[in-house]
Structure 1
Amino acid sequence: MRLHTLHELDNTEGTNVAFTSVCVFTFLTNYGIGGLSPAFYILSQEFDKTVTETSDLLLWPILVLGVFNFFWVPVANYFGKRPVFVFASGLLCLCYIWGAVAQSFRSLLWSNIIAAFAGSSTEALGASIVNDLYFLHERGTQMGMYMNFISGGNTIGALICGFIITGLSWRWHKWIAVILTAINFLTVVFLVPETRYFRDENQNVAGGVRSPETTTHPDMIRTTASSKEELGGAGGGSGAEEAGNVTLVEIPKKTWAQELNPWSGVASDTNLFKMFIRPLPMFVYPCVVYSFLGYAVSLVLTVAVNILNSFVLQAPPYNWSPMINGLISIPGFIGNVIGSYSGGYLVDVFCDWKTRRNRGIFEPENRLYLMILPLLITGAGCVLFGYGVEKTLHWTSLFFGYGMVSFALTAVPTITMAYVSDCVLPVNSDALMLVNGSKNIVAFGFLYGIVPWVEEMGYIDCFGMQAGIFVAIIAIGMALMILFGGRIRHRQAMWRIIL
């Protein structure tokens, strides 16, 4: 059965357009903020800032991108996802205008921080609508696509920014982001409907149909009851078609004009305060802990290279221009694409094969076997990059190292977030909020000290230790979840911790 909760947009084209609009939103968040990294060396000179101070342009937005997941997800669960996306995409555009005209480093920093506040709305909510819109066997592929858009903002943005800085200025990078976010704001307004779905049948079926057993379909509600009286009078007409004790009630679809309404009502069965505190007990779920730790260390490795590479490649002995420096984003982008393919489509194919061998029974832990790929590739790439910088090896070693590091940034979260969604589907947006919010907080803690860490220990020891931490987290978590994940899931299903 398709777990399709977008009743008013059940055609494939409309679904893909809505999902792509949200993906572009998250791409532009990272494009305008993280894509500015090739300009860090120039900005440090223009505003007379140290390496550590300049890195704040990326570090504090990373923290904000994580923390405010804990704000946006409860708000979206209560008021709806559409009003959140409409408001946040408009705010992102205004913040980029602010950044383009900023006359001081502090002003530029705050424009990035507020932009991160707006963009944080897509971190968990963007991932959660994969489950709103797509079949079970499509989720890995679509989650991989979503992760490509997130990581692509940093890699493609940095590549484009290098050329823009050389030919024009860093401000034009912001102005281009303004143009693109303005267009995306319009697509969100006109093409992204509400995907939140009230699973209480009384809120979805006209005529007051009430039944203890209900399953849903994009166009019909199948309700089982023992008599018409138990159906609240819906069996007597009004689009109901009765056959024995089964009644099919057609749900009227909204028109496009009705879908433009940014207001879809509030959740009547709870209050906003409860929405904020409800997800917190889910930190005891092992799948959530493994996902956010794996995502965090993958993010740390990639962002560490983003912060440091301009100070390495634009300074002696390389002495590259920002345009040439931006080319390091090419292997980063290639690593992201291969990682999302491996963690998405390849995992879906592998899971389909494992499910057939398991007599048609799908086990979420099947997704975790291919975590061996980022474990080996990224662990080696991290060591290669650190050794290449410290020993001043040929630039190809740095490029290959960065591409291998970037592999994990899409592969690890694509696999683990799809795994979390499979394990806790009814509350997946809350679980993904914890994953996305927590990984940024952990990453901020590591990255805030990355420059002093490198200066004190050197690149080889610094990146070698990071590689060790990454391999340990991925390997230990993978082994435990594959061996005991099934038992843990059955046990946690009986836990009464969801508020």
Structure 2
Amino acid sequence: MGIFNAFFFLLFLFCYEETKYVPVLNGQARAGPETEEDLSVPVDPDHKSAVQSDTKAALAVEPSSLHHELDFSIAINPWQKRLALWTPTPEPIWPYFYRPFYVLFTFPTVFFTGLQYASGVVWLTITANVLSLVFPLPPYLFTPEQIGFMSLGPFIGNLIGAFYGGLLGDRSILYFSRKNKGFYEPEMRLYILHLPTLFMAGGLIMFGATISRGMHWIYPSIGGAFFGFGLGSIGDATLTLVIDSYRDITGDAFTGIAFLRNAISIGIPFAISPWMERDGLQNMFITCGFISLGISLLIIPMVFYGKRSRRGLAARYYRLVEQQGHNHSG
């Protein structure tokens, strides 16, 4: 492994070219209607949508005006410059250090997603550690290979959950949007998470209780699959919620979410053995199940108050977007 890592370190050092791209922004005038009277002409209701789409097309920037041909007469940078350690650019780097924390702790939707994501990783860490601690012992006496196969249940559940929260979620928002007179709200992705919430909490309890009683390995596998289903569904839906709500600051939001996930889960492996010895395996997972249920039920206030928070923080969001634009343009 050391030789393998050393080889790729040298390969990266001498062959990985600079990937930072510093764009040149050229302003383009928008093409609009000739006069205001063009927009005030009476419209037949049957053709209203067609006229509106034509108006939007007229107000948009023509894609062809933003296209630039490559000038192949410009020489490529020399090898030393392509492998330069530093590439100075106009924007300051320090906002990238504090802005993810600002976004995480001032936008409730981002913090909610980070909490859901972090709790899922915590339960995943606990279940994985319990498998390696308990299953080599009686009554299971599993080999390392058999312990590895015990992860198949959560994997299958997570895969199904990804389709539930992803594919079914995309289709469900079409239905809910039609019910909302054609208007889509990002919080609609949370409407179908009642089942994953129950499956995640119930799966954790089933996983721990069946292992504690020495039941056949298929039962904790099923419990792990239930947990994996909830993890995949809630994770997909909440992360997409952030993308749909704050698309232009997604990078900062995801960085903050990753920080919260790691900050909460980093100490969990050290607490598992003392916790298990003090409360027992069954009580430990019952506690995990109810904590999971409480965190997942935060979906309910997010459904009711998420839109209100987005409206209240709209000015702050657009100010961040504008700051990013100024940084990238120099």
Does residue 298 of structure 2 align to residue 486 of structure 1? no
Rounded Cα–Cα distance in structure 2 between residues aligned with 1:244 and 1:492:
27
Q: Is the 8 A contact 2:116 2:295 kept in 1?
A: yes
Q: Which residue of 1 aligns with 2:220?
A: 398
Note the alpha carbon deviations across 1:195-248, whole angstroms, 9 max, x for none.
9896xxxx344xxx355xxxxxxxxxxx3489xxxxxxxxxxxxxxxx999762
Q: Please list, as runs of the form range in 1=range in 2, the aligned pairs for 1:123-134 lying within 5 A after superposition.
A: none
Q: Which residue of 2 aligns with 1:143?
A: none
- Cα separation, partners in 2 of 1:322 and 1:422, compared to 1, 3 Å: same
Q: Is the 8 A contact 1:343 1:412 kept in 2?
A: yes
Computing the radius of gyration from Cα coordinates, the structure with the larger value is 2
Match of 2:96 among 275, 290, 293: 275
The alpha-carbon deviation at position 345 of structure 1 amounts to 0.8
Does residue 256 of structure 2 align to residue 439 of structure 1? no
Rounded Cα–Cα distance in structure 1 between residues aligned with 2:145 and 2:192:
36
- Cα separation, partners in 2 of 1:297 and 1:249, compared to 1, 3 Å: closer
Secondary structure at the aligned position of 1:326 is classed as: helix
- Cα separation, partners in 2 of 1:440 and 1:408, compared to 1, 3 Å: farther
- Cα separation, partners in 2 of 1:197 and 1:286, compared to 1, 3 Å: farther
Does residue 68 of structure 2 align to residue 251 of structure 1? yes
Q: Which residue of 2 aligns with 1:414?
A: 236
Rounded Cα–Cα distance in structure 2 between residues aligned with 1:272 and 1:459:
47
The alpha-carbon deviation at position 482 of structure 1 amounts to 0.8
- Cα separation, partners in 2 of 1:424 and 1:494, compared to 1, 3 Å: same
Q: Is the 8 A contact 1:382 1:405 kept in 2?
A: yes
- Cα separation, partners in 2 of 1:340 and 1:254, compared to 1, 3 Å: farther
Q: Is the 8 A contact 1:302 1:402 kept in 2?
A: no
Does residue 288 of structure 2 align to residue 471 of structure 1? no
- Cα separation, partners in 2 of 1:341 and 1:267, compared to 1, 3 Å: farther
The alpha-carbon deviation at position 382 of structure 1 amounts to 0.5
Does residue 133 of structure 2 align to residue 316 of structure 1? no
Residue 312 of structure 2 aligns to which amino acid in structure 1?
Answer: R
- Cα separation, partners in 2 of 1:244 and 1:307, compared to 1, 3 Å: closer
Secondary structure at the aligned position of 2:181 is classed as: coil
The root-mean-square deviation of aligned C-alpha atoms, in Å, is: 3.6
The alpha-carbon deviation at position 467 of structure 1 amounts to 0.9
Match of 2:175 among 353, 365, 383: 353
Rounded Cα–Cα distance in structure 2 between residues aligned with 1:346 and 1:195:
37
Does residue 159 of structure 2 align to residue 342 of structure 1? no
Rounded Cα–Cα distance in structure 2 between residues aligned with 1:404 and 1:462:
18
Rounded Cα–Cα distance in structure 1 between residues aligned with 2:199 and 2:262:
23
Q: Which residue of 2 aligns with 1:332?
A: 154
The alpha-carbon deviation at position 367 of structure 1 amounts to 0.7
Note the alpha carbon deviations across 1:19-72, whole angstroms, 9 max, x for none.
xxxxxxxxxxxxxxxxxxxxxxxxxxxxxxxxxxxxxxxxxxxxxxxxxxxxxx
- Cα separation, partners in 2 of 1:448 and 1:355, compared to 1, 3 Å: same
Rounded Cα–Cα distance in structure 1 between residues aligned with 2:167 and 2:20:
24
Q: Is the 8 A contact 1:204 1:251 kept in 2?
A: no
Question: What stretches of structure 2 of length at least 5 have no aligned partner?
Answer: 34-57, 77-81, 324-330
Residue 277 of structure 2 aligns to which amino acid in structure 1?
Answer: E
The alpha-carbon deviation at position 194 of structure 1 amounts to 6.2
Rounded Cα–Cα distance in structure 2 between residues aligned with 1:273 and 1:444:
26
Aligned residues: 282
Residue 161 of structure 2 aligns to which amino acid in structure 1?
Answer: G
Q: Which residue of 2 aligns with 1:300?
A: 122
Note the alpha carbon deviations across 1:442-493, whole angstroms, 9 max, x for none.
1223443122111110111111111111111111x21111111111101111
Question: What stretches of structure 1 of length at least 5 have no aligned partner?
Answer: 1-96, 102-174, 212-222, 227-242
- Cα separation, partners in 2 of 1:254 and 1:330, compared to 1, 3 Å: farther
Note the alpha carbon deviations across 1:285-313, whole angstroms, 9 max, x for none.
11111111111111111111111202211
Residue 357 of structure 1 aligns to which amino acid in structure 2?
Answer: K
Rounded Cα–Cα distance in structure 2 between residues aligned with 1:437 and 1:394:
38
Q: Please list, as runs of the form range in 1=range in 2, the aligned pairs for 1:178-193 lying within 5 A after superposition.
A: none
Rounded Cα–Cα distance in structure 1 between residues aligned with 2:71 and 2:313:
38
Rounded Cα–Cα distance in structure 2 between residues aligned with 1:410 and 1:254:
46
Q: Is the 8 A contact 2:126 2:272 kept in 1?
A: yes
Rounded Cα–Cα distance in structure 1 between residues aligned with 2:20 and 2:227:
34
Rounded Cα–Cα distance in structure 1 between residues aligned with 2:187 and 2:106:
18
Normalized against structure 1, the TM-score is what? 0.51
